[in-house]
Amino acid sequence: MPLPHSLLRPLFAWPMVFLVLASSANPARAGAPDRKSAAREECERLNDTGSYAEALPHCRDAADLRRPVESGLADGDLGRSLTSLGLALEMTGDRRSAEASYREALALHRSVGQHEAEALVLSNLAALAIGGGDYAAALAWLAAEEAVTRRALAESDAEWAPAELDYVRMNRSVALEQLGAYAEALAEIRPVADHLLAAGDENTARRESAALAVNLAVLYRNLGDPRRALTLLERARLVYERLGDRSALANVHLNRGLAYQLNLREPERADEELSRALALARESGDRGEEIRTLCALGDLRRAAGRLSAARAAFEEAMVAAVASDAMAGRWTAQAGLGRVARDAGDPALALVHLRAAIAGIESTGAALGDAALRGGLLSDQRAVYAAAVDLLAERALELEGPEEERAALEALTIAEQARARELLDALAGGGSGAPLLAAGLAASSARLGPALVYFFGERHLWRFEHEDGRWRIAAAGEPAEIRALVTLVHRPLARAEPAPTDVLARLSHLLLPERLPAGSELRIVPDGRLFYLPFELLPDPERSGRNLVERLAVSYLPSLSVLAHLRSPARAARWNVAALADPELPIRPAAGGSSSLADLLAQRFGLPPLPGAAREARDAAARLGEPSTVELGRAATETKLRELAGEGVRILHIAAHTVVDESIAGGVALFLAPGDRVADPSGAAGDPALATADDGLVTAAELARMPLEVDLAVLSGCRTAVAETGMTGGDGAGGGRALASLSGALLGAGSRGVVASLWEVGDAATAALMEQFYFELARGVRPATALRRAKLRLARDPRWAEAPGWAGFVLLGDPGAIAPPRATWRWLGGALAALTLGGTLMLRQRRGRGRSPASTLG
């Protein structure tokens, strides 16, 4: 499980350095300091060196001596003392008193209009919330800090404001990092990184530079670059050594220990660093660093088999976390104690601790207003759920009959909780979508039908089998082997090469039961890297020489809970088919003109026109009949997509380029034609997030916010079904982050089903498959069966059988049959067209799709 990371406190570790109050220049205070000033100066000096336990009594004296408030000037002085007191209280573990002190200081500074001091206290409240695991509150405090700072900048020449906005970015990046949103955190901090890392020799500048170096190090470590992280941490260590800041040094050594422990697998070096961090945290009285370091030491010692020492570390961390009301510390310690109990052979006690940890994570996630942040948190903490699922599933294997089913449902319930719930939140209308509990899973059995549900535990891949309203569970293999095998299948298929037959056979043996559930349709809920596997290619375990697509139709779901939340079919659909195809791409701006991101990406990848896509869209509309509309070239814009999809559509067909690039929010986007680049709030249905320039680049986030009335969306572009991180990330990335893909975004926006591709499919194969698919849909066949029949026709054609790129098209969701809009005699024409498919395909020209590397461009 990823352990808690660095907590950057750029205003928090040296709060008074940046605050210059009018009272400090009061002539009456010239000469020898009075008792009030002496107490405050000693408080601030000790806080500044990380000696919080020593500072606390001086900080209490400084605040008490300034009461009662006598004037506006005294308000500022008292606020300053209360801020320092809050810092000492927080770092010594009294979080509630710290918050009360900060809030009182905030009220005082607001009463006299001291914007700089107000912003500083808001920053400290945000840091306090991050340290306690209340990320929703932290983000709210940071938003308030930014608003105050921008207001001050607008009203006057506030010299402090630009630097304050940098601190907002730094602290927001910490909150995002704690939620597992590492790429987003890096994007937040990059704009301020260069000038702060180049800070000069003044203590303040060096502190800023060191704090930023630590935070960047944490991000790079989590993104897989521990050597770069260690270089940055050494830079910070030298600064903090010179400044004598023991609390900050503890944090540096903690993060060095995590790099050696989790990335470089050097346990002895990790133990040295973590032991040093613990000593420094205790010397400084920093309870937050102490809790984080104890949890890291507990995990390290458990991995080494030193269970007694690990238990002692986690228990000590738990006591400190409860005393200081540190929610993240509590669930981390509980999870550690659960793993220790499991390793010691006490599964019952392990489940008690793991359930408590999960409850804490769920509580924190529920408080977050942003679905993507909830998804990031659950993805980052997934290992806690995986450990619990392992224990419950192993217990189920020892049981039989109804008891086995009850235990399997309990394991499945936690597996459903573990899946990042951005998509589920979107389907719930923007709120927090709750996964189905055991009773709900049992009640939804009739609608579900035959199904196989997979979940990667820490020790096993688990397969939950559903048939005739009953659930069974089986261990499907060792996770590392299965992930490696899936990669061996996906890579050649993505290069238009055949997958190794021996690897497919091994995966079939591991993943599929000896007897498949009866029925003509099978739902599959993959997990992690399994989202990249076309199950239809696996050999049939009961019929030698045949694969799954020859036996039954397969559809996919991001989770079981999604099935219960999918929206009803579009009632009064205006269009049978609404298609956008061959969009006009952005052009290079005139000399001196500005380029949008869409312009730059189009130029970078050299995206060609798609004349074959236009033909494909017209064919689809002709098959399904009127009323249908086809938007081509310049008319195929994001605005037109939003307009058509909101009117009610049976089938939304989009044939366009897909680009995968880290500069795009979410990493993946669909290219449509650029429209009017002037914001038009009236066209955004009241949503300010949608009232943006129609630049032609439609991200997954933008799609997810569109209120769609669509029965089936067909994305005829490459790699539209999965997130860009899935083949390299863990099980919490990629497949778990459903809205990181365009297909998941469409489901979340309201489409009942999506046909999309797992890799770049050749133009001829795409055209042939789509022609057959729409032929079947026009006959009233359910989409899952229609897609299967289209695949079978290509599978039996020697031109497509050897390198079955067609297998990359998958159906997600639960769309019903598209009612045939045309008379039966028209189907005959479609059938005759199918009979001449071979000749037609030979004459079909290839579309001009870009053939850039598959890892970057579709």
CA-wise closest residue to 573 among 746, 708, 778, 710: 710
More confident residue, 295 or 586: 295
Looking at the predicted structure, is the pLDDT value of residue 406 above 60?
A: yes
584 falls in which pLDDT band (50, 70, 90)? confident
CA-wise closest residue to 450 among 521, 357, 361, 396: 521
Distance CA 153, CA 115 (A): 10
Tokens at 171, concatenated: 């602290």
Percent helix, strand and coil across the chain, each to the nearest 5: 60, 10, 30
Domains in the chain: ranges and CATH: 382-562 (no CATH), 573-814+826-843 (3.40.50.1460)
Query: What pLDDT score does 774 carry?
Result: 93
What angle separates helix 327-343 from helix 287-303, to the nearest 10 degrees? 20
Query: What pLDDT score does 224 carry?
Result: 84
Mean predicted lDDT score pLDDT of the chain: 79
Provide the phi-psi class of 664: left if phi over 0, else alpha when psi is between -120 and 50, else beta.
beta
Looking at the predicted structure, is the pLDDT value of residue 732 above 50?
A: no
DSSP count for the chain of H helices, then E strands: 35, 14
Of 114-123, 542-551, 726-735, the one with minimum mean pLDDT is 726-735
Query: What pLDDT score does 420 carry?
Result: 60
Query: What pLDDT score does 747 carry?
Result: 85
132 falls in which pLDDT band (50, 70, 90)? confident
380 falls in which pLDDT band (50, 70, 90)? confident
Looking at the predicted structure, is the pLDDT value of residue 10 above 60?
A: no
Query: What pLDDT score does 410 carry?
Result: 92
DSSP symbol at 202: S
7 falls in which pLDDT band (50, 70, 90)? very low
**160-174, 184-198, 718-732, 753-767, range with greatest mean pLDDT:** 160-174
Distance CA 493, CA 471 (A): 33
Query: What pLDDT score does 396 carry?
Result: 94
Query: What pLDDT score does 657 carry?
Result: 81
Query: What pLDDT score does 504 carry?
Result: 95
Phi, psi of 67 (to 5 degrees): -95, 150
Type of residue at 172: R
Query: What pLDDT score does 603 carry?
Result: 62
pLDDT tens digits, one per residue of 312-344:
999 999 999 998 888 889 999 999 999 999 999
More confident residue, 167 or 356: 356
Average pLDDT over residues 793-820: 80
Q: Mapping DSSP to helix (H, G, I), strand (E, B) and coil, where does residue 710 land?
A: strand
The four Cα atoms 498, 500, 502, 506 give a dihedral, to 10 degrees, of -100
Q: Are 409 and 424 in contact (CB under 8 A)?
A: no
Four-residue CA torsion sign, 714, 715, 716, 718 = negative
Looking at the predicted structure, is the pLDDT value of residue 525 above 60?
A: yes
Query: What pLDDT score does 292 carry?
Result: 92
Say if residue 197 is exposed, middle or buried (CB neighbours under 10 Å; 0-12, 13-18, 19+).
middle
What angle separates helix 95-111 from helix 72-91, to the nearest 10 degrees? 160
Looking at the predicted structure, is the pLDDT value of residue 145 above 70?
A: yes
Query: What pLDDT score does 199 carry?
Result: 54
Tokens at 586, concatenated: 């952005």
349 falls in which pLDDT band (50, 70, 90)? very high
Average pLDDT over residues 801-819: 80
Type and span of the H or E element at 291: helix 287-303
Average pLDDT over residues 163-167: 85
Task: List, edge to edge, every strand of the sheet that includes 658-660.
Answer: 658-660, 668-671, 697-699
Query: What pLDDT score does 454 carry?
Result: 96
842 falls in which pLDDT band (50, 70, 90)? very low
817 falls in which pLDDT band (50, 70, 90)? confident
Query: What pLDDT score does 594 carry?
Result: 45
Q: Are 260 and 266 in contact (CB under 8 A)?
A: yes
Q: Mapping DSSP to helix (H, G, I), strand (E, B) and coil, where does residue 587 land?
A: coil
Runs of H (alpha helix) within 705-751: 742-749
For every residue of 459-473, DSSP letters joined together read S-EEEEEEETTEEEE
Looking at the predicted structure, is the pLDDT value of residue 796 above 90?
A: no
Query: What pLDDT score does 825 carry?
Result: 38
355 falls in which pLDDT band (50, 70, 90)? very high
**What proportion of the chain, given as a percentage, has pLDDT over 90?**
37
Beta strand 521-525 with 553-556 is parallel
Of 405-409, 678-682, 752-756, the one with minimum mean pLDDT is 678-682
Query: What pLDDT score does 204 carry?
Result: 54
More confident residue, 69 or 709: 709
Q: Are 512 and 519 in contact (CB under 8 A)?
A: no
Distance CA 702, CA 544 (A): 46
Looking at the predicted structure, is the pLDDT value of residue 423 above 60?
A: yes
Looking at the predicted structure, is the pLDDT value of residue 533 above 60?
A: yes
Say if residue 551 is exposed, middle or buried (CB neighbours under 10 Å; 0-12, 13-18, 19+).
middle
pLDDT tens digits, one per residue of 385-397:
999 999 999 999 9
How many residues are listed for the chain in this entry? 858
For every residue of 467-529, DSSP letters joined together read ETTEEEEEE---HHHHHHHHHHHHHHHHTT-PPPHHHHHHHHHHHS-SSPPSSSEEEEE--GG
Query: What pLDDT score does 446 carry?
Result: 67
Say if residue 593 is exposed, middle or buried (CB neighbours under 10 Å; 0-12, 13-18, 19+).
exposed
More confident residue, 474 or 138: 474
Distance CA 383, CA 660 (A): 28
pLDDT tens digits, one per residue of 69-128:
554 445 678 888 999 999 999 888 888 899 999 999 999 999 888 999 999 999 999 988
846 falls in which pLDDT band (50, 70, 90)? very low
Type and span of the H or E element at 579: strand 575-583
The answer to whether the peptide bond before residue 627 is cis (omega within 30 degrees of 0) is yes
Looking at the predicted structure, is the pLDDT value of residue 610 above 50?
A: yes
The answer to whether the peptide bond before residue 513 is cis (omega within 30 degrees of 0) is no
Q: Are 549 and 536 in contact (CB under 8 A)?
A: yes
Q: String of b and e for 325-361 (b: at least 16 CB within 10 Å)?
A: bbbbbbbbbbbbbbbbbbeeeebeebbebbebbbebb
Of 263-272, 503-512, 756-765, 815-824, the one with minimum mean pLDDT is 815-824
Q: Are 810 and 531 in contact (CB under 8 A)?
A: no
Average pLDDT over residues 762-776: 84
Query: What pLDDT score does 798 carry?
Result: 81
Looking at the predicted structure, is the pLDDT value of residue 666 above 60?
A: no
Tokens at 336, concatenated: 């550690």
Strand partners, 521: 553
Distance CA 696, CA 598 (A): 6
What is the separation, in whole angstroms, between the first and last Cα of the chain?
34
Distance CA 771, CA 773 (A): 6
Q: Are 473 and 465 in contact (CB under 8 A)?
A: yes
Looking at the predicted structure, is the pLDDT value of residue 14 above 70?
A: no
Q: Residue 285: which residues within 8 A CB-CB, separation 6 or more?
A: 51, 52, 53, 54, 56, 91, 92
Looking at the predicted structure, is the pLDDT value of residue 22 above 50?
A: no
